[in-house]
Amino acid sequence: MTIADSLSRLGTETAFEVLARAKALEAQGHEMIHLQIGEPDFDTPPHIVEAAARALRDGATHYCPAPGIPELREAAAGYLSRTRGLEIDAGRVLVTPGAKPFLFFGVLATCNPGDEVIYPNPGFPIYESVIRWSGATPVPLPITEDAGFAFSADDLAERLTPRTKLVILNSPANPTGGVVPRAVNAEVAKRLHDHDCYILTDEVYSEMVYDGEHDSIASHGLLDRTILLDGFSKTFAMTGWRLGYAAVPAELVEPLTRLFINCHSCTPPAFQLAGVAALTGPMDEVRAMIDEFRVRRELVVNGLNDLPGVTCIEPKGAFYAFPNISGTGLKARDLQNQLLEEAGVAMLAGTSFGEYGEGYMRVSYANSPENITAALQKMRELLERVPV
Ligand code: PLP
């Protein structure tokens, strides 16, 4: 028996492999500090948990509409309109189990084999994986340290061709923490105006911007052909709940809903009601979490810049730092493995996010200041043993 050929084109997230190896080492009695994690180390705010519990007790335990319950579509339309300075109709908002399905379905709903998709590299690995699986051609847009872990409008424009069907953007970004400035978005939008393609803007870290305000490419006159994606995992520390939403172009509402019906039918209604509580309720705990990330960001960046062979620019958003390790003389994957096996520190090689991640590591600061400090010390000890 053989499995489908198409699966050879489907990638994965190395984060899950590193986590599995770290857990195996822990099971053998090794200590491990986890800086590979892509989720807040905070609990979901209690009023959100309570809303779900209440909904379950009240019987929200049945199938519900495939595009999402009206209450959440309304709440998400209100939130996106408010935070992006747009007017978004609830009829164009769809809800899925996590933000991730929009990456999969977004590509499937817009691209044919042979189409080109521009995507950030280094970037969230699922972009390239899904593009390849769909039969479209991935066209990497290098995200460089020189550009403050963003890119220029020229970089993007150079990659547009008549075959470009979709442009994927992500700000604030995983894995770099980079934020695309408003002026760059304005310039990018000008270039995209004359080009007949869809845009998928992944804004799941939109609340985690440390200097200035979040800016969406959709706000620059492109909403009608943009999938504007946000979710609950990062903002409300709800990774395990699996809840996400997007405002989508009008003509994609029906095809995307059909894909949902073929795949997961609907998103659990009790969790959607919790999502309503999140988007319409108090934001104090979210603000407190982000303030704590801001403090840790400084700790991580200063600590990394103190290590031999390592430099790190200040990330402007999300909860990741992306230190340059070229001065250590090690390849990113080798450093990842040595840190894991010899130092008891789990973090990800920049190459887990694409070939342009060579020479970098992704450090998640979704861990306590004590653990971050201890991990930096273990890194120092390892790097001091490495001949440069
Ligand atoms: N997009 C980016 C850039 C991410 O980093 C992640 C999660 O790590 C996701 C999407 C998926 O988020 P969710 O948990 O809502 O599916």
**Domain-by-domain residue ranges, the chain?**
5-43+284-383, 62-280
CB burial of 256-286 (b: ≥16 within 10 Å; e: otherwise) equals: bbebbeeeeebbbbbbbbbbbbbbebeeebb
pTM, rounded to two decimals: 0.97
Question: What per-residue confidence (pLDDT) applies to 388?
Answer: 60
State the pLDDT at residue 107.
98
Domain 5-43+284-383, CATH: 3.90.1150.10
* Helices (H) then strands (E): counts for the chain: 12, 12
User: Using N-to-C axis directions, what is the helix angle for 269-280 and 70-84, rounded to 10°?
Assistant: 30
Would 5-43+284-383 and 62-280 be classified into the same CATH topology? no
* pLDDT at site 217: 98
Tokens coding 132: 């390849």
pLDDT at 387: 67
Residue 76 CA to ligand 1 center (angstroms) comes to: 17
Instruction: Kindly give, in sequence order, each residue whose CB lies less than 8 Å from that of residue 196, ignoring residues fewer than 6 positions away.
Output: none
- pLDDT at position 272, please? 98
Would the CB of 98 count as within 6 Å of ligand 1?
A: yes
- Chunked into runs of 10 residues, the chain (388 residues) has average pLDDT values of 93 87 95 94 98 98 98 98 97 98 98 97 98 97 96 97 98 98 97 95 98 95 97 98 98 98 98 98 97 98 97 98 97 97 96 97 97 98 84
Q: Given ligand 1 and candidates 126, 233, 242, which is best to mutate, with the most ligand atoms within 8 Å of its CB?
A: 233
Q: Which atom of ligand 1 is nearest to the CA of 15?
A: 8
Residue with tokens 């890194």: 379
Out of 3.40.220.10, 3.30.70.60, 3.40.47.10, 3.40.640.10, which CATH number does the structure's domain 62-280 have?
Answer: 3.40.640.10
Per-residue model confidence (pLDDT) at position 15: 82
